[in-house]
Structure 1
Amino acid sequence: MPEPALPAADSPAPPDASPAATPLRAAAVPQGRASRLLHLGRAVGELAAGAAAEGLGRLARGERPALADIVFTPANARRLAERLSQMRGAVMKLGQLLSMDGEGVLPPAFAALLAGLRDQAHAMPATQLDAVLSQAWGADWHQRFRRFSFQPIASASIGQVHRAETHDGRVLALKIQHPGVRESIASDVANLALLARTPGLLPAGLDLTELLDRVRQQLLRETDYVAEAAATTAYREALGDDPVLWVPAVHADHSSARILATDFVAGVPVDRLADNGSQPQRDAAATALARLAAHELFTMQLVQTDPNFGNYLVDVDGGRIALLDFGAAQAIAPQRVQQLRDLGRALRASDADAVRQAALALGYIGASEPPAQADGVLAMLMAAGEPLRQAGPYDFGASDLFRRMVDQGQAQFFDQGFSRTPPADLLLLQRKFIGTFLLCARLRARVDLAAVFAPHL
């Protein structure tokens, strides 16, 4: 479909002046802790009510449904996605994580509806957008551009993206932060902490204080676009020239604390290849991103820890992949890199004693850990190393590895509980690697992970 014409910048247009293929809905961001707690409470209440109604209906038909069957329904997914889409901010960010981690675990209809949270959240109304841009650049902000699209290309938890063309011919992607999102982070995290204390929701004795504090710090970093601009440039320089992967350049003259301007990138999110790409295309994309994850950790020691599939845009014809969104870029200490290298070597060798020693050094288990809990964590780590132990391509499309790990993790969580959460920096790294391997599974790709990691181990 040809791209729609963009409105002239010297005549601010209504939000439908430049419609996208699927126009995003507009809604103001709810602000204030009480208001956001009300929305969060409604989301939880609607989920519970939907599950209760589904369960009663099935019982009336003589069925005996499992809990997951009545919670993870399309109707519940629509309600949850709608509520989180309106909230945006830290709470919606968790919904995005659920949508990605649910690939291959949640029912397909549930995961697909939540996947819209990645780039199809409610957008700001045109008046609110104009106010944000006026605050950043003044009331005559539109004179900066020859063309500006009021219809966003995408909208997610923290901001939305607009296409603009400068008078000197540069075509930009402008990531514009939703108003009030940064200010709502502390209240969102406090509300989540309150929800986490609901009796029976989490294992007794599990303390999420450090983890939630790290989430708060991370989200504050992700809403600092000056810091993200610097991180993007540093990552771009560290990556260097790559035949497949590249990072769009930052345009500092159109960036600010709440607006980030980069080169405009044409392409599709990489997970779209699952439906439209050939096997060689899927294999090539997955291999490139697995290679990137290993290169980030062991060579660059700078990891983009948000593996949202929408952060990888593929040029389907040329095969190049643009890397986006570096608000979650994290520098890794050399000692941590060596500890993870030791773990990788132990997993590759299937050396149980070395895996235990590496897990102790990393903090996945403690010296006084109850044996059942420690053994459960070590078993999950050993399972995660399965692709490293296979010579030749690992067929993620045919593998049930993630299902086995989820089943094992759920059994561990509910039967034995966890006496600790892993160190917060490791949780972010886990998200990067789990997200990369989930993408491999989503693409049904065949990737030689042993060869990808061999130079680093």
Structure 2
Amino acid sequence: MSQHPESRGLAVPSRRLSRLWHLGRATGDLAAGIGVKGLIDLARTRAGGQPARIQLSPEHTRRFTDRLARMRGAVMKMGQLMSMDGSDIFTPEAAEIMSTLRERAEPMPLSQLSRVLETEYGAGWDKRFKRFEFTPIAAASIGQVHRAETRDGRRLALKIQFPGVRESIDSDIANLAMLGRSFGMAPKGLDIAPFLEEARRQLHREADYDAEAEALESYRVWVGDDPDFHIPAVHRDLTTRNILAMDFAEGVPVDRLAGPEYRRAERDRAATLLMRLTLRELFEFGLVQTDPNFGNYLYDAASGRIVLLDFGATKPVAPELVEQYRRLAASAISGDRAGMRAASVALGYVGADDPDEHVEAMMDLLELASEPLRHPGHYDFGLSDLFERIYHRGRALFHSGVFSTAPAPETLFLHRKFMGSFMLSRRLRARVELCEMARACL
């Protein structure tokens, strides 16, 4: 068996008081970096219902992200989401450092890893394997991944959960809610409790690898024998609530296709396949993998297939919600503002009794967002500034107090998936014939 010569990982703080202490240190780094004047400015913007703007030095930002990366779990997951908004919340320098949270997590030390393996597989667990690589090939917010080969020759990827992550979710979410209120991260008057509750439920599901195995197998049935995609099979004899055993899959993260060594045709094809898959997930499967992390898609150049990974964030979507999105998309494509309004009320984007000017502002935003759906032929995401236009207009409206309602919390992760698909096409500078693709799905 392969050996890890010297563990350089940092132990995952698993006890509630330990995690609270680390979060307190992270908050202290944040407060120290902002300074007295910054805290006063934050209080003023919060009182006025305006978005908070955090001025952090690179040094304090690194301390803050180091703390979150060490804690892993819900705290790191929320930090990753904060970093996706980084261009507006943080200074450009701080936003660049925060973005590293989307790609890093400290692996756990060998002693902690060994305890998890023995707890899950029992004493003598190593006898099940011909080879086990103790150095992880990836580490994220909830677990890390190791390569292994069983005695009977199966080449596997084992996703091993950090100890204490599941037990810490509830307290982490509560502490993050307190932090968000303290620093005015949410607009005045908006109740973020339902969204945090939805995030809490989703994180508990992501931390249950038995549930992820079931979601992966259900998704494999829907995709079937599609030659463009590969979904690794689950190995149930080695899967537990804290370890997910899957076929090892070759490939590079799909966003690497943006590099000069790949042709434009490959970028266009990959983006088209994944955009079509996003539409099929919602309108055909009713089962959506809602994590937009680019690392969840691998490109296998030898076969031309895209490997789909990580189904912990997979959510079934209620048929009535699917129908509401179907009506909204169809109305947006055809320019039917009355139909868009009815669907938006059903989804909670606007209230039935909201003032007309408020509703019209939302309809304008939705029309803007649906630009790729209405564009004839190929939409060139590489040349489009649509993201900036949506981002700044939507954020200004969100913080202006114009809207009295918020969408149903269960739409939170669907929005994340839609945005992730858009951002991947943009990252690949791809041309996608989205209009005809959408019409076919509707």
Global fold match (TM > 0.5) = yes
Shift of 1:105: 9.9
Q: 1:320 to 1:110 in 2, by over 3 A?
A: farther
Contact 1:250/1:262 (8 A) holds in 2 = yes
Q: 1:361 to 1:266 in 2, by over 3 A?
A: same
Instruction: Provide the rounded CA distance (Å) in 1 between the counterparts of 2:381 and 2:230.
Output: 25
Aligned to 2:310: 325
Q: 1:86 to 1:200 in 2, by over 3 A?
A: closer
Shift of 1:48: 4.3
Instruction: Provide the rounded CA distance (Å) in 2 between the counterparts of 1:246 and 1:48.
Output: 46
Amino acid at match of 2:73: G
Please point out which of 318, 324, 336 is paired with 1:339: 324
Please point out which of 136, 143, 146 is paired with 1:159: 143
Please point out which of 137, 140, 157 is paired with 1:173: 157
Aligned to 1:267: 251
Please point out which of 202, 212, 216 is paired with 1:218: 202
Instruction: Provide the rounded CA distance (Å) in 2 between the counterparts of 1:176 and 1:378.
Output: 45
Aligned-residue RMSD, C-alpha:
2.5
Shift of 1:306: 1.0
Amino acid at match of 1:249: A
Instruction: Provide the rounded CA distance (Å) in 1 between the counterparts of 2:30 and 2:116.
Output: 33
Contact 2:54/2:89 (8 A) holds in 1 = no
Q: 1:241 to 1:446 in 2, by over 3 A?
A: same
Instruction: Provide the rounded CA distance (Å) in 2 between the counterparts of 1:247 and 1:332.
Output: 21
Amino acid at match of 2:326: R
Aligned to 1:43: 26
Aligned to 1:360: 345
Instruction: Give yes or no for the alignment of 1:230 onto 2:232.
Output: no
Instruction: Give yes or no for the alignment of 1:86 onto 2:56.
Output: no
Contact 2:52/2:184 (8 A) holds in 1 = no
Shift of 1:338: 1.3
* 1:307-329 deviation line (CA, Å, top 9, x unaligned): 21111111134321111111111
Aligned to 1:455: 440
Amino acid at match of 2:251: G
How do 1:301-320 residues align onto structure 2 when only pairs under 5 Å count? 301-320=286-305
Aligned to 1:300: 285
SS in 1 for 2:429: coil
Amino acid at match of 1:47: L
Aligned to 1:253: 237
Instruction: Provide the rounded CA distance (Å) in 1 between the counterparts of 2:325 and 2:304.
Output: 31
Instruction: Provide the rounded CA distance (Å) in 2 between the counterparts of 1:214 and 1:405.
Output: 24
Instruction: Provide the rounded CA distance (Å) in 2 between the counterparts of 1:197 and 1:223.
Output: 26
Instruction: Provide the rounded CA distance (Å) in 1 between the counterparts of 2:252 and 2:93.
Output: 21
Shift of 1:285: 1.0
TM-score (norm. length: structure 1)? 0.87
Instruction: Provide the rounded CA distance (Å) in 2 between the counterparts of 1:396 and 1:455.
Output: 20
Contact 2:350/2:406 (8 A) holds in 1 = no
Q: 1:352 to 1:102 in 2, by over 3 A?
A: farther
* 1:12-42 deviation line (CA, Å, top 9, x unaligned): 54446xxxxxxxx511112334432333343
- Structure 2 gap segments, 5+ residues each: 39-50
Instruction: Provide the rounded CA distance (Å) in 1 between the counterparts of 2:97 and 2:37.
Output: 18
- Structure 1 gap segments, 5+ residues each: 1-7, 17-24, 56-66
Instruction: Give yes or no for the alignment of 1:131 onto 2:115.
Output: yes
- Bigger Cα displacement from structure 2, 373-382 vs 145-154: 373-382
Contact 1:88/1:181 (8 A) holds in 2 = yes
Shift of 1:43: 2.8
Number of equivalenced pairs = 429
- Bigger Cα displacement from structure 2, 81-90 vs 252-261: 81-90
Contact 2:52/2:183 (8 A) holds in 1 = no
Instruction: Provide the rounded CA distance (Å) in 1 between the counterparts of 2:94 and 2:223.
Output: 36
Amino acid at match of 1:80: F
Instruction: Provide the rounded CA distance (Å) in 2 between the counterparts of 1:372 and 1:36.
Output: 46
Instruction: Give yes or no for the alignment of 1:28 onto 2:11.
Output: yes
Instruction: Provide the rounded CA distance (Å) in 2 between the counterparts of 1:235 and 1:111.
Output: 35
Shift of 1:418: 4.5
Instruction: Provide the rounded CA distance (Å) in 2 between the counterparts of 1:371 and 1:450.
Output: 29
* 1:395-430 deviation line (CA, Å, top 9, x unaligned): 111111111111112211332365333111211111
